Chain A
Amino acid sequence: DQQVKQNSPSLSVQEGRISILNCDYTNSMFDYFLWYKKYPAEGPTFLISISSIKDKNEDGRFTVFLNKSAKHLSLHIVPSQPGDSAVYFCAARPSGNTPLVFGKGTRLSVIA
């Protein structure tokens, strides 16, 4: 049973436009959500996170939105750049010292 779902395996966006990556979760006990970016043959790089007590967190071109009632979060990248092309993983953490639960990732391609 997959607790964190990224239903779009891939997304293509033109350079300069907005990229929106979506993530759904089923466990209402998750209290912290993160987005990671991963290039091939490299470890994931932490991008941005949000606590369950917030509905928005912004860092430069990256904004994460959380809708707890819908159990949905999204990552917005604007403007999108070719260097943003990578696989993006959504992750969630139940309260306590437990491992993150990852989605399967969405491959973003930003076309120049």
Chain B
Amino acid sequence: GAVVSQHPSRVICKSGTSVKIECRSLDFQATTMFWYRQFPKQSLMLMATSNEGSKATYEQGVEKDKFLINHASLTLSTLTVTSAHPEDSSFYICSARRAGGLGETQYFGPGTRLLVL
């Protein structure tokens, strides 16, 4: 199967600090990775799409200067929440689309719970 990992799984930080979340595709190359956010009892909200070697495409309403995305390689994308505030507390999930093959299925990481105090 296709495995996507996220690190850390849980982070608690003080308001004003920056938090970096890593997303790795462990057994396949991902030309495209996606970052989602989920609020309690809500659906997945797409934040941005990142393609390896190029700038991320952000969804409307998502601040690109606040949520920095870097897709440095075919197996790694990072999301940095800069100057985090309590309203940024959420469940962040990354997803990777396998390069080649069918390419349609997105595989999700286990998620990162961010709590900003």
CA A91 to CA B108, docked complex, whole Å: 13
User: Mostly helix, strand, loop or mixed at chain B's interface?
Assistant: strand
Determine if A49 and B6 form an interchain contact, defined as CB atoms under 8 angstroms apart.
Answer: no
- The chain B residue sitting closest to A44, CB to CB, is B108
Contact of B108 among A32, A45, A93, A99 (CB under 8 A): A45
Size band of the B side of the interface? 20 to 34
The yes or no answer to A11 lying at the interface (CB within 8 A) is no
A residues 75-112 in Cβ contact with B at 8 Å: 89, 91, 93, 97, 99-100, 102-105
The yes or no answer to B12 lying at the interface (CB within 8 A) is no
Could you tell me which B residues sit within 8 Å of A by CB distance? 4, 6, 31-32, 34, 42-44, 46, 49, 91, 93, 95, 97, 103-111, 113
Could you tell me which A residues sit within 8 Å of B by CB distance? 32, 34, 36, 41-46, 49, 89, 91, 93, 97, 99-100, 102-105
